[in-house]
Amino acid sequence: MAALLPGTATLGVLGGGQLGRMFVHAAQALGYRCVVLDPDAVSPAGAVAEKHVQADYLDPVGLAQLARDCDAITTEFENVPAVALETLANMRVVAPAAAAVAVCQDRAVEKAHFEAAGVPCAPHAVITNEIELAAVDPSLLPGILKTSRLGYDGKGQVRVATAAELAVAWEGLKRVACVLEQLLPLKAELSVIVARGADGRTVHFPVQQNLHRGGILAVTEVPAPDVPPEVEKLAIAAARQVAEALGYVGVLCVEFFWLDDGRLVVNEMAPRPHNSGHWTMNGSDVSQFELQVRALAGLPLPQPRQHSAAVMLNLLGDLWFTDEGGPTPPAWDRVLALPGTHLHLYGKAEARHGRKMGHLNITAATPEAAHAVALDAARLLGLPTDF
């Protein structure tokens, strides 16, 4: 398609969450108008877009309205029904495509894609019935049982050590289709974000080293402090390979397990910007959200350049609650007094435990300096300093 030039077009996004909000901000900075479709009357992205279409993702009237209002449309989360993207694609440019998003919506299909793309993933078994449950290879235990669909941030996941525990866990997950993954000894969790245009040009950010707590990303550091160049090269090549095999258009995050024995295996992927890439808003000359806008609009994709070492701290609603009660905003003035701190709050009206409320980026001239300030910020916020 011909490029949709800045200042001349309207871009749409399915989903009104924080990723949609940051997409809208990036698009508006380039001069695009934005329309958000989301069923909630109030949403982070809907609050900042030029127009909010309040409708269900499968509402034909709402989808038709979005198509009329926009020149190209993307999604901010992977669990939007793929059929909605298919419907929109009959009327407007849509990226990423429904077929690519559908792969990311099902862990079993996703792992089959990784294998077909020649990228190793963890040993696993698909469980959809009692026969497959009984046939599970004992070598996969201990493992993690994950629902094939609708699992994120640690939801829909149960650790199991024995066949008996596996059976109980599958029953507890209502016998839905699941994937059992062998529990692997991890050195670190890594991720790579790539952006690919309709012309096949693919660019990437550096490897990101991630720390999760309770299944939710807590800290990202870039450059990855423990990763040697040869591992970084392998991770970037694998992420690009995954995107190429999908014929992907847009921003894609591929997550990896770096094992104690030095092997690198792919964990999962997200067809959108990712929490681990939020540092790019302050540590790179182009952010993951600007690349999402560029890929959707058919603009050139520059190879990003990291200009500052960066640490990202995820900010959950728990920070708004103390022993004395809450919700009360944290002492942002003290945090922002630290050098190189950049606060991004998502405009959510209510703080709740476990809810992603924002993130804090720390940038510095060296990784050591960024790490030191991040530790200071964590102490001020009452966050763990285990990174």
With tokens 């600007």, the residue in question is: 290
56 with 168, same domain: the answer is: no
- 156 annotated ligand-binding residue: yes
Q: What is the pLDDT of the chain when averaged over all its residues?
A: 96
* pLDDT score at 324: 79
Please check if 267 is assigned to a binding site. yes
Q: What is the pLDDT of residues 266-322, one digit of tens each?
A: 999 999 999 999 999 999 999 999 999 999 999 999 999 999 999 999 999 999 998
Residue type, 110: E
Give, in order, the Cα–Cα distances in Å from 94 to each of 36, 70, 89, 250, 347: 14, 10, 5, 10, 27
- Does 107 fall in a domain? no
Give yes or no for residue 156 having a pLDDT over 90: no
pLDDT in tens, 99-148: 999 999 999 999 999 999 999 999 999 999 999 999 999 999 999 999 99
Query: Was 20 annotated as part of a binding site?
Result: no
Do 145 and 221 belong together in one domain?
Answer: no
153 and 193: one domain? Answer: no
- Residue of 192, 214, 220 lying closest to 278 (CA atoms): 220
208 labeled part of a ligand binding site: no
**CB 24 within 8 Å of CB 48:** yes
Last residue of a domain, one of 131, 160, 182: 182
Instruction: Answer yes or no: is 183 a known binding residue.
Output: yes
Q: pLDDT grade, residue 56 (50/70/90)?
A: very high
Grade residue 387 by pLDDT with cuts at 50, 70 and 90.
very high
Listed residues 166, 182, 198: the one ending a domain: 182
pLDDT of residue 155: 73
Residue 295 lies in a domain: yes
Domain boundary among 73, 94, 115: 94
> Is 105 domain-assigned?
no
Do 192 and 281 fall into the same domain?
A: yes
Q: Within this chain, do residues 164 and 193 fall inside the same structural domain, yes or no?
A: no
Question: Is 232 labeled as ligand-binding?
Answer: no
User: Is 115 part of a structural domain of the chain?
Assistant: no
Q: Is residue 374 part of a domain?
A: yes
Q: Which residue has the tokens 């980026």?
A: 361
Distance CA 281, CA 311 (A): 11
pLDDT at 330 over 90: yes
Q: Which two tokens stand for residue 40?
A: 């909630």
CATH code, domain carrying 19: 3.40.50.20
- The percentage of the chain sitting over the pLDDT mark of 90, rounded to a whole number, equals 93
Instruction: Give me the mean pLDDT over the 349-367 stretch.
Output: 96
Whether 194 and 172 map to the same domain: the answer is: no
Is 54 annotated as contributing to ligand binding?
no
Long-range contacts of 329-332 (CB under 8 A, 24+ apart): 330/380, 330/381, 331/380
Phi then psi dihedrals of residue 89, to 5 deg: -65, -20
Whether residue 293 is contained in a domain is answered as yes
- CATH code: domain of residue 177: 3.30.1490.20
**373 in the same domain as 232:** yes
Number of domains in the chain: 3
Is 317 flagged in the annotation as binding? no
Q: Would the pTM count as exceeding 0.75?
A: yes
Q: Is 234 annotated as a binding residue?
A: no
pLDDT at 30: 98
Asked whether residue 105 is marked as a ligand-binding residue, the answer is no
333 with 362, same domain: the answer is yes
Residue 200 in domain = yes
209 is in an annotated binding site: no
Q: What percent of the chain has pLDDT over 70?
A: 99
137 annotated to a ligand binding site: no
Q: Tell whether residue 151 is among the known ligand binding residues.
A: yes
Name the residue type at position 224.
A
What value does the mean pLDDT take over residues 156-163? Answer: 93
Quick one: pLDDT band at residue 212, thresholds 50, 70, 90? very high
Mean pLDDT (whole number) for 354-380: 98
Q: Do 193 and 140 have their domain in common?
A: no
Question: Is the confidence at residue 151, as pLDDT, over 70?
Answer: no
Domain identity same for 162 and 311:
no
**Residue 151: which domain range?**
123-182
Please check if 155 is assigned to a binding site: yes
What's residue 322's pLDDT? 85
The pLDDT of residue 153 is above 90: no
Evaluate if residue 54 carries a pLDDT over 90.
Answer: yes
Q: Both 358 and 270 in a single domain?
A: yes
212 among annotated binding-site residues: yes
Q: Are residues 243 and 374 in the same domain?
A: yes
Q: In angstroms, how far apart are the furthest CA atoms of the chain?
A: 60
Is 182 annotated as belonging to a binding site?
yes
What's the rounded Cα separation, in Å, for the pair 213 and 186? 14
CATH number, domain with residue 322:
3.30.470.20
Q: Is 350 annotated as a binding residue?
A: no
Residue 106 lies in a domain: no
Q: Binning pLDDT at 50, 70 and 90, where does residue 222 land?
A: very high
- Could you tell me how far CA 355 lies from the centroid of its own chain? 15
189-218 mean pLDDT? 97
In sequence order, the 6+-apart residues with CB closer than 8 A to the CB of 176 are 147, 148, 149
